[in-house]
Structure 1
């Protein structure tokens, strides 16, 4: 795994050097025409069909990309049908995908293709079909991330790292001449932005899900430990003010207390925030590189969007998380199983979604198309490779019904943040005991 990830980082750095020389900017409109992988030798191997199964019928893909409905997905459906005339794909988008798909999976009925939710890998065979027959196992990164007993059940849509996505003009207008490389410098930059009449950080607090980095990626980076979340299983009280979780949560709480977030965090709007960051009304996001093309296509140009690692302390040294995004999974009971598998393969190889989404491609032989990664890597962050979720820890999280983004919300707004950690620790310990862990 480590060898492949080092190869991935080498590819990223090489591609970014070429991008810097060639000035190749992408505003999220790429449809995959120039970076398709070499097609398989036969139509059956290319489609993923088994034993000559016909690629046909109608399938539905449940996705979290509400912004692509009636837009890019229309083109995807058209192009997929051009390749497979007897097949049709429909798209259903939801905002709270993880919760929604879990509910639908528990009912026994869910769409043909989904983004696999947070369930133990041992449960994957209960719901999903193996994807080993797609001919992708040796060509992708993170193939073991959603696998069980040697079989692959999920293929990541791409890879991401998390950091500060910012409007360069807003920084310049506020008199910020150097990118902050310590936490104190970060707060100072936020103060300058606030003084210039700009909202320093778009938290999208009300929407909840955009808060995810503060409860996971930032904490793992502070700890310098990709296994931090899994190591919670050894503790009855994993959330403490003075450990990596408390330190990460304290940064976003400090931003709130100093007035560096939206004026009314309870009335934020995700879609509008992209336009506000693009226009410079808001200056920054703390999110993954996937949001870069979304900002660039919301009212600005790609060269006005920058990306740097969050300086979470004053050491000048920065760790960053590198992780797979959501993984495509195929409902094992799909009435059009071969078509559903063919669609997953098509999404990975031909759709161009990874370019559109600003991902580091999951295909080893495809170069990333996000020039902002060159700036990000110029600050010499240490990449912390993601590891698969420990099943026992996932079971505790589900038993305790812990929503990490809700933890962020409660911690930020509480008059007594320690009481929030105490509550979550109590829920954790109770669930852990109930499961016999």
Structure 2
């Protein structure tokens, strides 16, 4: 199981489906918390274990209720198709391909930003439309590098690198002093390279980073965040600090490779920590590093919500569906148990992020965009055929850095800036 990244490519389908929405005004059990609900989930790995325990606890708290799970392997693909009908469960995770302007077509609002912002994280600018919140995160993630502490220690590195140059020096020491691959790109699957896009705001420590990105004519100009991030990726590959043949990487195998010390480092959201610990000889070997950049002497990480639980606007039992979402968010402890950041503000950061805390890392959330600029940077990227969130443009960077394409870093960045600027002039 992995956390899926930024939006898929089925927007056209969903736009075509928008006309089939519209709420069913029949509330389940005339507003009472009772009866059966169907909950769609992507967690095929825990549907018969952890989720069954949740079911028992919820049904005990609310006698007369029944929770039925549907675990879906190809969650994004299948749910998009099911949203062509009214039958897409009572509670579901909002697919990444549902853009914010379509939220009210398919989902019931859970409350306003003002009503929920003091209690829950990730509600100020995620799955929000016209001041209304349509989903609550099942967990949250920070951004940085998963690493094998034992390997880094064997290479003599005892403190988080503070600059890209220090990070390169650390990976070089790992190559020279250990048998581990310093950094594993997981190039073949492409999506792991999209994780580098989560570093918006991390380099600058600026909550307005995404807003500024959408207004920038040249994001790959020297000094800009994308220049810093993608230059580091290029340099790591060019200096021979990654797997010998990135076209043969394997995501599932990579978990065991970092867990047993065959790989030292991966750029992944913090959602991956628990999975890597599960594949480790000793889970204490797996830690999490901040990105090697400081502002005023401090590291930064951006925290954001993962998939969001939402209510099907066509559900005939919205009261029980809402009770399930509230219980899952506030009482199940799912986020903490999975090593993630709780969406409940009052809950502490998870122990999986202890390395970030020890490094005095500042946790920030990106600012909500001004009205009319929601998702603007990603729309510009899509128009430019750069697709910031799918990892493929970073495959181009890896290919050039390893000599598989005859392009220099500066040539790639100049081309990306040109495409971005042209697209920006066309996207409103």
Match of residue 397, structure 2, among 411, 432, 436:
411
Q: Does 1:281 align with 2:262?
A: yes
Residues in 2 aligned to 1:280 and 1:165: alpha-carbon distance in whole angstroms? 12
Match of residue 87, structure 1, among 66, 71, 74:
66
Residues in 2 aligned to 1:227 and 1:376: alpha-carbon distance in whole angstroms? 22
Q: Match of 1:327?
A: 308
Q: Match of 1:123?
A: 102
Q: Match of 2:8?
A: none
Q: How does 1:304-319 map to 2 (within 5 A)?
A: 304-312=285-293, 317-319=298-300
Task: Give the number of aligned pairs.
Answer: 384
- The alpha carbon displacement at 1:354 in A equals 0.6
Question: Any gaps of 5 or more consecutive residues in structure 2?
Answer: 1-26
**TM-score, scaled relative to structure 1:** 0.75
When structure 1 is superposed on structure 2, of 423-432 and 201-210 the one drifting more is 423-432
- The alpha carbon displacement at 1:243 in A equals 2.5
Indicate conservation of the 8 Å contact 1:248/1:312, yes or no: no
Residues in 2 aligned to 1:100 and 1:257: alpha-carbon distance in whole angstroms? 39
Indicate conservation of the 8 Å contact 1:66/1:95, yes or no: no
Q: How does 1:157-196 map to 2 (within 5 A)?
A: 157-195=138-176, 196=178
- The alpha carbon displacement at 1:86 in A equals 3.9
Match of residue 363, structure 2, among 383, 400, 404:
383
Indicate conservation of the 8 Å contact 2:140/2:305, yes or no: yes
Distance 1:232 1:292, change over 3 A: closer
Q: Match of 1:267?
A: 248
Residues in 2 aligned to 1:264 and 1:387: alpha-carbon distance in whole angstroms? 39
Distance 1:104 1:313, change over 3 A: farther
Residues 383-428 of structure 1, C-alpha deviation per residue, up to 9 Å, x if partnerless? 3332235326054445556243222222221332455545555654
Secondary structure of the residue aligned to 1:206 is: helix
Q: Does 1:148 align with 2:129?
A: yes
Indicate conservation of the 8 Å contact 2:203/2:291, yes or no: no
Secondary structure of the residue aligned to 1:222 is: coil
Residues 171-191 of structure 1, C-alpha deviation per residue, up to 9 Å, x if partnerless? 233333444333223222212
Distance 1:87 1:320, change over 3 A: same
The structure whose residues are more often helix, as a share, is 1
Residues in 2 aligned to 1:179 and 1:232: alpha-carbon distance in whole angstroms? 27
Q: Does 1:374 align with 2:357?
A: no
Secondary structure of the residue aligned to 1:230 is: helix
Question: Any gaps of 5 or more consecutive residues in structure 1?
Answer: 1-47
Residues in 2 aligned to 1:349 and 1:265: alpha-carbon distance in whole angstroms? 42
Residues in 1 aligned to 2:193 and 2:145: alpha-carbon distance in whole angstroms? 13
Q: Which has the higher contact order (CA 8 A, sep 6+)?
A: 1
Residues in 2 aligned to 1:280 and 1:148: alpha-carbon distance in whole angstroms? 45
- The alpha carbon displacement at 1:264 in A equals 2.8
Q: Does 1:55 align with 2:34?
A: yes
Distance 1:108 1:259, change over 3 A: farther
- The alpha carbon displacement at 1:311 in A equals 0.9
Residues in 1 aligned to 2:37 and 2:169: alpha-carbon distance in whole angstroms? 54
Distance 1:137 1:238, change over 3 A: closer
Match of residue 209, structure 1, among 186, 191, 206:
191
Residues in 2 aligned to 1:214 and 1:422: alpha-carbon distance in whole angstroms? 20
Residues in 1 aligned to 2:196 and 2:99: alpha-carbon distance in whole angstroms? 23
Distance 1:260 1:62, change over 3 A: same
- The alpha carbon displacement at 1:103 in A equals 6.3
Superposed CA RMSD: 3.5
Residues in 2 aligned to 1:421 and 1:66: alpha-carbon distance in whole angstroms? 40
Residues in 2 aligned to 1:412 and 1:124: alpha-carbon distance in whole angstroms? 36
Q: Does 1:253 align with 2:234?
A: yes
Distance 1:235 1:336, change over 3 A: same
